[in-house]
Amino acid sequence: MSTNGWVAVAGLGPGDEALVTPEVMAALAEATDVVGYFPYVARVAERPGLTRHASDNREELDRASHALDMAAQGRRVVIVSSGDPGVFAMAAALFEALENGPVDWRDLDIRILPGITAMLAAAARAGAPLGHDFCAINLSDNLKPWPLIERRLRLAVEADFAMAFYNPRSKSRPEGFAKTLKILQEACHEDRLILFARAVSTPEESLRIVALSEATPEMADMRTMVIVGSSQTRLIERAGGPILYTPRSTG
Amino acid sequence: MSTNGWVAVAGLGPGDEALVTPEVMAALAEATDVVGYFPYVARVAERPGLTRHASDNREELDRASHALDMAAQGRRVVIVSSGDPGVFAMAAALFEALENGPVDWRDLDIRILPGITAMLAAAARAGAPLGHDFCAINLSDNLKPWPLIERRLRLAVEADFAMAFYNPRSKSRPEGFAKTLKILQEACHEDRLILFARAVSTPEESLRIVALSEATPEMADMRTMVIVGSSQTRLIERAGGPILYTPRSTG
């Protein structure tokens, strides 16, 4: 095994190039290979000496093994994620592949390069809804049973966390988000505020803030980040658009 | 009121300049005034045309009002936060000042510029401990009563979230983290993994991963981010240092 190869798992942020860190740009500039889901690989410019390997969304473990294998052969490989690679993205998949792969992979130089994750980009655009204690839940039940998601939702309401939901509506499981809204509408006051932030930092960005009683499943699609305020989350009305924020103090 | 002034609340990330976004650098380049806690203002280089206003840690609301007032006079003001301004930082303080201030402040151009928050920088250095559902809790009881923190801790354990703790040990309330560890040691299995990540991305960076039963309050100080794994969080041992990660699947 060559010792010059490495793997970096890099977060490209929510979409805008101005939100990509210099650390990530430097890794991409040194890479021989970029690996990832099609739309993320498409965000990396072609150049001589760089091979781009795009794959489908459900192939995280194969992609991770491919990256580790190329690094073991001496290549400099960047796995690209949107947002932050450590939040419902490729970093955990890489370590699953590492743990179950050839033992000499553990000698590889592996780095996780953080990025601006979707909930923080969405929160920044809307105000500061995550300014007090909060939780982040992946609503996809692709990798966990629905009853566990439901249990977490109820406990998060009881703890009065603000809640950030990743993957609210996937093509294959559109009904999960309707169930989520129903649980929240039963457990929370009807005035509880909810943010639908779609395609944040891209030309298609749109934000919508409604009371929980008015929220419907169709307000979220695969590109939407959903943030539900805590009981303390407030709205400041103004001509330029409302500001959603959670005060630092609880009373 | 001049209409040319603006306020941006900018996240400087955990310390390394390579983790500051181009968006934040651009705002700093256009600013006439930079406002913030001493050590964060010190991270912004002096230049002609820029006035730096450094203040103490407990003066968030005064600082926010000062920034809004300067923007209303036509100045271009950046409030600097470490990490991400929306996570236990200056964004919520700014909106508290806005809500309670003169109504014409609501016409100001206000932007929140996200940054790499401490928990994501720490997670990236250690592996991917936040790769599944997680929560973020500010352990400072400066702005909320201790019983609420304790209640959230117990519910977070019940929900089996990984947990990221900000401000585990402040000078004025060092006993809070000892109480936190005691609650966790009673509620979780003794093998539960806990990360102490100090001064991540700076020359003083140090990481320590121990079983919860071996954790002591002295392992955290004011510059430490603490991440407690969920019941599923695992360690991969290797010569280059252990990797802490939470698999995407719940088993």
For A59, A94, A193, B130, B133, the CA distances from A91, given in Å and listed in that order, are 14, 5, 32, 10, 14
Instruction: Give the best residue of B1, B3, B23, B90 to mutate against chain A (max A CB count within 10 A).
Output: B23
Answer with the one of B64, B99, B116 that is the final residue of a domain: B116
DSSP secondary structure letter of residue B217 = G
A99 and A216, same domain (yes or no): no
B168 and B238, same domain (yes or no): yes
Neighbours of A107 (CB within 10 A): 13
Answer with the one of B74, B99, B116 that is the final residue of a domain: B116
Instruction: Give the best residue of B58, B154, B167, B245 to mutate against chain A (max A CB count within 10 A).
Output: B245
Q: Which residues in chain A have their CB less than 8 angstroms from residue B109's CB?
A: 240
pLDDT in tens, chain A (251 residues): 556 899 999 999 999 999 999 999 999 999 999 999 999 999 999 999 999 999 987 789 999 999 999 999 999 999 999 999 999 999 999 999 999 999 999 999 999 999 999 999 999 999 999 999 999 999 987 778 899 999 999 999 999 999 999 999 877 777 889 999 999 999 999 999 999 999 999 999 999 999 999 999 999 999 999 999 999 999 999 999 999 999 998 75
**Average pLDDT value over all residues in chain B:** 95
Out of A130, A133, A250, whose CB is closest to B86? A130
- CATH assignment at residue A103: 3.40.1010.10
B142 and B206, same domain (yes or no): yes
Out of B22, B91, B145, whose CB is closest to A18? B22
C-alpha–C-alpha distance, residues B106 and B125, integer Å = 40
Contact B192, B117 (CB under 8 A): no
Q: Which residues in chain A have their CB less than 8 angstroms from residue B30's CB?
A: none
A127 and A86, same domain (yes or no): no
Q: What is the pTM of this model?
A: 0.97
Instruction: Give the best residue of A81, A88, A95 to mutate against chain B (max B CB count within 10 A).
Output: A95
A81 and A179, same domain (yes or no): no
Q: Is A251 within the bounds of a domain? A: no
Answer with the one of A116, A144, A175 that is the final residue of a domain: A116
Q: Count how many domains chain A has.
A: 2
In which domain, by residue range, is A169 found? Answer: 119-245
Q: Is A1 within the bounds of a domain? A: no
Three-state DSSP class for residue A210? strand
Size of interface A-B (CB pairs under 8 A): 233
Q: Do B26 and A13 touch (CB under 8 A)?
A: no
B109 and B174, same domain (yes or no): no
Q: Do A91 and B155 touch (CB under 8 A)?
A: no
Q: B64 to chain A nearest CA, in Å?
A: 14
Q: Is A250 within the bounds of a domain? A: no
A222 and A135, same domain (yes or no): yes
pLDDT for B174 = 75
B16 and B61, same domain (yes or no): yes
Neighbours of B156 (CB within 10 A): 27
Three-state DSSP class for residue B101? coil
Q: Do B132 and A116 touch (CB under 8 A)?
A: no
